[in-house]
Amino acid sequence: MAMNFRRQRRPEEPEINLIPFIDVLLVVLIFLMLSTTYSRFTELQITLPVANAERARDRPHEIIVAVAADGRYAVNRKPVEGRSVELLAAELGAATAGSSDMVVIVSADAAAAHQSVINVMDAARRAGLPRLTFATQTNGGGEAR
């Protein structure tokens, strides 16, 4: 009896090679990452407004609060007795003269304690003055806001 050792040929199943597909997806992913990074940089190109340093200094809707390096306060060049938030809030309330659209300008010494500036902000809030800004100096020595 003869045995048939011949293999029967099955039709080969097609194989799907995923490596080129993954390569294409990685290239697309890298392209998208680079293009979104560049769009973020283009968002940040802004034109800043120009400040005019020759404006009038005495405007009626301003309250200037000076903070000395040792923590003393002055409201519109009038010294405040004591350093508490309540006294400063009372002085700010007296300086508003009933107007609530005043702007508080904090002119703090560079060596003033952070807590002293926070006290001015808290006193302005208590006095009902939500508009607050800080005075700085330019490198030339002139005051700018």
Query: What is the 3 state secondary structure string of 130-143?
Result: CCEEECEECCCCCE
Pick the CATH number of 62-139 from 3.30.420.270, 3.30.710.10, 1.20.120.430, 1.10.30.50: 3.30.420.270
pTM of the full structure:
0.54
Per-run averaged pLDDT (10 residues), the chain, 145 residues: 65 85 95 70 53 55 85 85 85 80 84 87 88 73 49
